Amino acid sequence: MNNTVLKHLAVIMDGNGRWAKSRGLKRTQGHEKGAEVIRDITIACAKHTSMQSVTFYAFSTENWKRPKLEVEFLMKMLDKYLKSELATYQNNGIRFQAIGDLSVFSKALQKRIKDTEELTKNNTNLSQVLALNYGGRAEITTAINTLISQGKTFLEESDISAALQTEYNDIDLLIRTSGEERISNFLLWQLSYAEFHFTQTLWPDFSSEELHVILDNYAQRKRRFGGL
């Protein structure tokens, strides 16, 4: 049995601000460049032979603490990104999905998200998942409360897994850029047995070439899942 078949990749995109600062640019320009990289990496993942889903940590529940103008820019950029990427999704057979608490977004942005999900729902080559206003603890808490509201009085692990937002629950590999080595409340349940790769590369400099090197490294690992 090959335990290194990669079906679900998770990515914590870090370093947009530092990339911009190092070039004397505005932080917003770092985010714009980062959005271009999401496209490139998603297309590369769509060409991977076994990958079913790639989940990007796009906006956490903690990111609201950032300056108001930056948050407003990110919301506008997300709307623009989804509008411009529809052709990329359709041309590459990519299904778009969003996880997180979307209720806090503007009605227009919520509509853009839902419309993009609907228009791409029949694409089967890859699922691109954006975690938006997402927190791992909040996701687990919501799942448990949902099960309780359904009358559940005893929970199996499979019950919780089924109640989570992610369609492909178990993460095979997590990549985090910019040299930070933590998971920052991202997919806590789903990362239980994931492999980790931390790179010094800032997200706007991350490339499909580096991705392929990381995936080749992953394929050489031996995943034991608690066994020998």
- Catalytic residue annotation: 14, 63
Q: Are 108 and 77 in contact (CB under 8 A)?
A: no
Tell the residue number behind the tokens 């029949």, with chain if given: 122
User: Which one-letter amino acid corresponds to residue 157?
Assistant: E
- Residue closest to 15 by CA, chosen among 185, 206, 210, 207: 206
Number of neighbours of residue 79 by Cβ within 10 angstroms: 17
Sign of CA dihedral 37, 43, 46, 47: negative
Mention every residue, 6+ apart, whose C-beta is less than 8 A from residue 161.
Answer: 169, 189
Separation of alpha carbons 17 and 11, rounded Å: 17
